[in-house]
Amino acid sequence: MRMELGEVTLDVQDSETGRDPVLLVHGFPDTHRLWRHQVRALNDAGHRTIAPTLRGFGASGRPEDTAAYAPARSVADLLELLDRLDIGCVHLVGHDWGSGIAQGLALAAPARVATLSLLSVGHIGSLLSAGWEQRQASWYMQLFQLDGLAEDWLSRDDFANLREMLAGHPDRDETVERLREPGALTAALAVYRAGLPSEVLFGPAQPAPVLRGPVLGVWSAGDRFLTERSMTGTEKYVDGPWRYERVDGAGHWLPLEAADRVSALLLDFFAEHGRPRR
């Protein structure tokens, strides 16, 4: 469905029925379709699922101003979406950039988050302190800062470089076709330009916010972009229950590559920590 919010229109998949709502937040360069396997499993287990496509991606709105893609703006979108749907408290799940957005929501409105599940991307403090191996794996974040040059390099030779970056993504061809649309690639890259500029990546360390538990961290052994240390170090930034799970045999897009395992972990974590408050 299309949900017109104050600043932007979002494309939202909402099962509309079920108990214990689950808000699923995708990352770069995906849409709510990333969660299709989890949506089915969670719905079968009786949960209501709400999976929005974030601003700048897929069929959702694409503001032209880079500043419009600051993480706080997407957090505000999600909170407004929950208000429009009359949903108070959710199990919150994020993958990749969606993990960062989910953490922002949990910090801004902790009473609305029953559990927080972080897939692939851990706490920003953990990411920035994970050492040289993670710095090497994060090389593309600096490329993405280069307005125009990044778009040219990624799309050159029929998107050959983007295709190589997305190697292992089960929906790679579909994703590339979506990013061919006018303005789509620039909008997707804007989340990095607004949310992870060089000042954040290489500037002096800043005080790190603390997440309220329970928090689940899930990392996949085949992730080419994120080290295990960048996830396990998240425990330092959690006040309350913390659980870490390693998934072998899957790459970065584990909601698709290890769909059954991810669904089972989420259902178990939700059951362990009770029902969301209304």
The whole-angstrom separation of Cα 137 and Cα 231 is: 14
State mean pLDDT over 39-56: 98
For 25, 134, 164, 229, the CA distances from 249, given in Å and listed in that order, are 23, 20, 19, 18
6: nearest Cα among 58, 53, 67, 55: 55
For 13-44, the pLDDT digits (tens) are: 999 999 899 999 999 999 999 999 999 999 99
Helix (H) or strand (E) holding 141: helix 139-143
Residues 188 and 63: beta-carbon distance below 8 Å: no
- pLDDT of residue 169 exceeding 60: yes
Site of tokens 């979506």:
178
Q: Which pLDDT does position 199 carry in this prediction?
A: 85
User: Residue 278: pLDDT above 70?
Assistant: no
> Helix or strand or coil: residue 216?
strand
Side chain identity at residue 4, one-letter code: E
Q: How far apart are CA 252 and CA 272, in angstroms?
A: 26
The pLDDT of residue 277 is: 56
CB 100 within 8 A of CB 121: yes
pLDDT reported for residue 9? 98
- What is the predicted pLDDT for the residue at 274? 74
Cis upstream peptide for 29 (omega within 30°): yes
pLDDT range class, residue 197, cuts 50, 70, 90? confident
The CATH class given to the 2-134+207-272 domain equals: alpha beta
State how far the Cα of 107 lies from the Cα of 209, in Å rounded to an integer: 8
**What does the pLDDT average to over 239-258?**
97
The CB density around residue 135, as the number of other CB atoms within 10 Å, is 16
Q: What is the pLDDT of residues 103-115, one digit of tens each?
A: 999 999 999 999 9
pLDDT tens by residue, 57-106: 999 999 999 999 999 999 999 999 999 999 999 999 999 999 999 999 99
pTM of the predicted protein model: 0.96
H or E stretch covering 13: strand 9-14
pLDDT, the chain, mean: 95
Q: Which residues, in sequence order, are CB contacts of 158 under 8 Å at separation 6+?
A: none
Is residue 23 a contact partner of residue 112, using CB atoms and an 8 Å limit?
A: no
What percent of the chain is predicted at pLDDT more than 90? 93
Residue 53 pLDDT > 80, yes or no? yes
- pLDDT value of position 275: 66
Residues 192, 144: contact at Cβ < 8 Å? yes
Weakest-pLDDT range from 170-184, 190-204, 225-239: 190-204
User: How many CA atoms lie within 13 Å of 70's alpha carbon, on the beta-carbon side?
Assistant: 7
Structure tokens at 173: 């061809």
Say which amino acid occupies 99: S
